[in-house]
Amino acid sequence: GHDLWEDIAEVLIPEDQLQKRIQELGETITEDYRGRDLVVVGILKGAALFTADLFRWIRVPASLDFMRIVSYAGTRTTGVHRVLLDLEYELDGRDVLVVEDIVDTGLTLRFLRDYLLPRNPASLRVAALLDKPSRRQVDVPIDYRGFEIPDRFVVGMGLDFNEKYRNLRAICVLRPEVYAAAGQE
């Protein structure tokens, strides 16, 4: 196979900026939840890497759980969400922090809120590494935001294109030929 970096047109957010911002978010979350304990819910697969990095900067007692939800095929949301893995913990009376890699149309986050709020958490907040507001279809609150990004399809740091490129350490834009070769955009 070829080197992943050959497919990259541009680095949007380099690794050191990502890590610095994740530390800041963790410190803010630590202040906000002082004296409480927290259930951190990472949304697989995209948020797996951000969740792991953020979780280690949270310095209040915290449990870690995961859900797996999918809706994207290539660069497009199907608008239909499937829960492939549900939570292990009960949320009743707990402070819950949902961790997402990106909020794009907002449909995934809205689905999650509708899915989790009936389980009666004491609070439900959202941390998202990336926010792409220009693509929003539904209004969803983001309590902890890493970066606002323009309307480009990005990969890396957990984000994929057809399940590839999640292992890039920066947020990147792929070469147009790569998207075109897969029959997208």
What positions carry a catalytic annotation? 104
Choose between 107 and 171: whose C-beta lies nearer to ligand PRP. Answer: 107
Contacts of 137 (CB under 8 A, 6+ apart): 105, 106, 107
In angstroms, give the least distance from the CB of 160 to Mn ion: 9
**178: partner contacted, choices Mn ion, ligand PRP, Mg ion, none (Cβ within 5-8 A by kind):** none
* Structural contact between residues 31 and 60, judged by C-beta atoms closer than 8 angstroms: no
147-176 binders of Mg ion (CB under 5 A):
160
**Which tokens go with 65?**
């759980």
Pick the stretch among 29-37, 68-76, 146-154, 176-184 that binds ligand PRP (CB under 6 A).
68-76
Say which DSSP state 152 is in: -
**Which tokens go with 156?**
């890396």
Residue 6's DSSP bridge partners are none
Strands 123-131, 95-103: pairing kind: parallel
Choose between 13 and 107: whose C-beta lies nearer to ligand PRP. Answer: 107
Per-residue contact track with Mg ion, 59 to 98, x per CB under 5 A? -------------x--------------------------
Q: How far apart are CA 140 and CA 136, in angstroms?
A: 9
* Structural contact between residues 46 and 76, judged by C-beta atoms closer than 8 angstroms: no
Among 42, 46, 121, 158, binds Mn ion (CB under 5 A): 46
The residues binding Mn ion (CB under 5 A) are: 46
